Structure 1
Amino acid sequence: MSRVSKPFRSSQRPALALAGLLGTSGVLHFARPKFFDGMVPKQLPGSRRQWTQLSGIAELAVAAAIVTPRTRRLGGLTAALLFVGVFPANVKMALDAERKQKSARERLAAWVRLPIQWPLVLWALKVRDSA
């Protein structure tokens, strides 16, 4: 089998995996919006649900950009910016878990999300650079 006839090269796997992660998260914004609504700061204009839906659309659009070879470079950069942009929401979620005295498991999950954002940013930049 020639290299051209293979549907995906192994060098595309990190990009496709990142697109899968973003796509799944984007779908979850619509399938389980209440979870995401709680992360939206009250200070933002409009409804929390509107922000949840907009961020879900953004994640789906970035996933599509990463899957498409012609737009993968821009998609990788946009994904990195998206991960940085949602960091404050993750901080809010961790602080809310403490303030609302959630279970130890929920508090741990909320705090673990914070350091995970930075490897996601690096992954997205690596996808951009390898495009």
Structure 2
Amino acid sequence: MKISKDVLGLAGLFATSAVVHLAKPSVYQPLMPAWVPRHREVILASGVAELVCAAGLLHPRTRRIAGWSSAALLVAVFPGNVKMANDARRSSSPAVRSAAFARLPLQLPLIRTALKAARSH
């Protein structure tokens, strides 16, 4: 089965984000809610999870489980996006505020794409 452009895009997004998670975890440190323990380890683990999801989305035999895993990962990192938006409210930059709040509804089409991948076989 051929991979759709949106699923391919999601895999690319995960792969790109994973590289940043693993190469420069400090970028994600400000997104970590205080209640999450061991921030650096969680950031690195989420980078590995993103790589695994990206790779899994690319192959028909693993796309189903990778789709479900991708949707779960997107839901799991959502509190970080909420924290980023909440923190951005104090920013003097309208661009920072806009970008932070724009991420919140953008999670929905990403989750939808992950679920689409999970339903494809």
Q: Please indicate, yes or no, whether the TM-score normalized by the shorter chain is above 0.5.
A: yes
* Alignment TM-score, normalising by the size of structure 1: 0.83
Query: Is 2:54 the partner of 1:75?
Result: no
Residue pairs, 1:30-109, within 5 angstroms: 30-46=22-38, 48-99=39-90, 101-109=91-99
Q: Say whether 1:126 aligns with 2:98.
A: no
17-26 or 114-123, larger mean C-alpha shift: 17-26
Residue 79 (structure 1) shift = 0.7
- Residue identity over aligned pairs, in percent, reads 45
Unaligned runs of 5+ in 2: none
Which structure: larger Rg?
1
| Residues 1:33 and 1:104: Cα distance change in structure 2 (over 3 Å) | same
Structure 1 runs (4+) deviating above 4 angstroms are: none
C-alpha deviations, 1:70-89, integer Å up to 9, x for none? 11100011111111111111
Which segment drifts farther, 116-125 or 14-23? Answer: 14-23
Q: Quick one: higher RCO (CA 8 Å, sep 6+), 1 or 2? A: 2
* Letter paired with 1:104: P
User: Are the counterparts in 2 of residues 40 and 51 from structure 1 also a CA contact under 8 Å?
Assistant: no
